[in-house]
Chain A
Amino acid sequence: MEPRIATRMGDGSLVEMTRSEIKADLEEGTQQSAKRAKVDPLTQDELDHLLDIYASSARFTAVDIGDEVVMSNDGTGTKHIGNRVQDLQTYEQVLGIDIVELWQIDYSYKAIKTNVAHEGQAMKIAQMLCTNPVQYGAMPDLGRYSKPDGPIDNWSELLPLMKVDEARAAQIEACAMLVEDINFVADHMVEAGADGIDMDTTGAAGDADFLAGLTACRMLREKYPFLGIEIGMASEFVLGMHGQLEFDGERLAGMWPKDQLRMVQAAGGSIYGPAVNINTGKSTAWNIARAITIIKPAMEIAEIPVHVNVGMGVGGVPTCVYPPADATSRASKAFVEILKIDGY
């Protein structure tokens, strides 16, 4: 009888599977995602490597000495231990994070605009006390500009009424406001000494959200050649809420990581962060095979650093409040060794 190995589901629950069952999940994960994303499935060597990582009963696993990667840490800290700058110092000095991020709990550029001077002051203090690079981060969060939270007609209400032209016009109007707000906040943060700007969960509201991030990125790059600009995505696929928006003549709707990366590179981004969401009903083996299959084509053309999102619920890390270290470390090792990524 084949021994059973303790492993994790995508919701973090501990289950027991045989090596053959884990192998089958890896194969199904890569085949399913390859078909969905229209990319090649993983090679047999890559699947064998994943099987070695995921069919281990070890509590923890790690990359080889010398193969370590850079950790950018969007949303640094807990917000509930000490103050925000102490959060950054703790992550710098105790955890050994490489890039820390100042942020506020209402993680949206629109929200930050109203108290940007205070955020800038916090950045200035952080810059005096930290040796690490300190970036400022928030979500583009285009939905904030639609009624009732913002001034623009809500495209999610217009679309079901078949008011497609009005819904598209509303998104374009919101996009322009968002670009202005990202620039406004970034200008203040650069003045306060920020090393970088992070646009986190870009594309959450679809193609207009992604367009705003790319447009703001290009404007910031022209103004600040030294500035770190990180664009992390919301998911593996850009939703076509507008459907016709283009950047450099290319339609954004429907873009997967390889094309997302090309756009971020063209816009002048420093770091691109692909995100592949977790299927909580499948094993972590199934999920890691899916995530690596979808991101692999991006790694083959990358000219800038790629920091894969491996937080809770993305990149093979389970969706649960306390992601288990056995699952997190397996995902950490898998991306580095198979995709040769530049960081997390």
Chain B
Amino acid sequence: MGTGDPLGMEGAHTQASGMGGMRTAGDLVARMQMTRRMRLKEAKAYVADKLGCTPRDLSDPSAMEQIRIEKGLGTLPFTSSVRPGEAGMIEAKFNISQVLDIPINSVERFKERVGLASSFAV
């Protein structure tokens, strides 16, 4: 959207047309665009297939909350909803890498530095 863009503009875009990031599966679809250069329709279809849901579910926070909990893909810690016993942040990315079958650089670096076997050549 452009550096120097003031706070507030992003809010309008995310509400008008954004997938919703971690509130939904926006981060997962974004990873397919970045890692496999997939266009939106293909990326949504890929992620939906891996999660066992429909492409429309991917931007539905209600549907995705349950899917993210079931698969350990990370959820948002808010006042009345925290899950310290479940995967979050770097832990969740281990599961995202496995579920989407893509290398995540920080996960591979983590494995390398603590002596875990890598699943991907990066």
Which A residues lie at the B interface, using CB under 8 A?
Answer: 60-63, 65-75, 78, 91-93, 95-99, 103, 107, 127-135, 137, 190-196, 200-201, 224, 226-228, 230, 232, 269-271, 275, 302-305, 309-314, 317, 321-323, 325, 328-329, 332-333, 336, 340-344
Chain A residues near B10 (CB-CB < 8 A)? 71, 73, 91, 95, 97
A328–B12 CB distance below 8 A:
yes
Q: How far is the CB of B83 from chain A (nearest CB, A)?
A: 13
Chain B residues near A191 (CB-CB < 8 A)? 109
A70 CA / B22 CA spacing, docked (Å): 12
Q: Does B3 contact A (CB under 8 A)?
A: yes
Q: Do A74 and B6 contact each other (CB < 8 Å), given the known contacts A93-B76, A97-B18, A129-B89?
A: no
Chain B residues near A68 (CB-CB < 8 A)? 17-20, 26, 59
From B3, B21, B104, A95 is in contact (CB under 8 Å) with: B21
B21–A322 CB distance below 8 A:
no
A194 CA / B34 CA spacing, docked (Å): 12
What is the predominant secondary structure among interface residues of chain A facing chain B?
A: loop
From A61, A63, A310, B1 is in contact (CB under 8 Å) with: A310
From A190, A275, A302, A332, B13 is in contact (CB under 8 Å) with: A332
B1-56 interface (Cβ within 8 A of A): 1-24, 26-27, 29-31, 33-35, 37-40, 43, 55-56
Give 20 new A-B contacts, CB below 8 A, not counting A270-B34, A325-B12: A74-B1, A75-B4, A92-B22, A93-B77, A95-B10, A95-B21, A97-B14, A97-B18, A97-B21, A127-B105, A129-B89, A135-B34, A195-B34, A270-B35, A270-B37, A304-B37, A317-B9, A321-B6, A332-B13, A336-B17
A304 CA / B33 CA spacing, docked (Å): 8
A96–B30 CB distance below 8 A:
no
From B27, B40, B78, A69 is in contact (CB under 8 Å) with: B40
A-B contacts counted at CB < 8 A amount to: 235
Q: How far is the CB of B72 from chain A (nearest CB, A)?
A: 11
Residue among B20, B21, B39, B78 with most chain A CB within 10 A: B21
B31–A224 CB distance below 8 A:
no
Q: How far is the CB of A257 from chain B (nearest CB, A)?
A: 16
A192 CA / B60 CA spacing, docked (Å): 32
From A230, A311, A328, B16 is in contact (CB under 8 Å) with: A328
A190–B105 CB distance below 8 A:
yes
A195–B104 CB distance below 8 A:
yes
A329–B16 CB distance below 8 A:
yes
Chain A residues near B23 (CB-CB < 8 A)? 96
B8–A312 CB distance below 8 A:
no
5 pairs across A/B with beta carbons < 8 Å? A60-B16, A69-B17, A91-B10, A127-B109, A275-B2
A132–B22 CB distance below 8 A:
yes
The 6 closest A-B pairs by CB, nearest first: A75-B3, A311-B2, A228-B34, A193-B106, A98-B26, A127-B106
Q: How far is the CB of B80 from chain A (nearest CB, A)?
A: 14
From B8, B33, B59, A66 is in contact (CB under 8 Å) with: B59
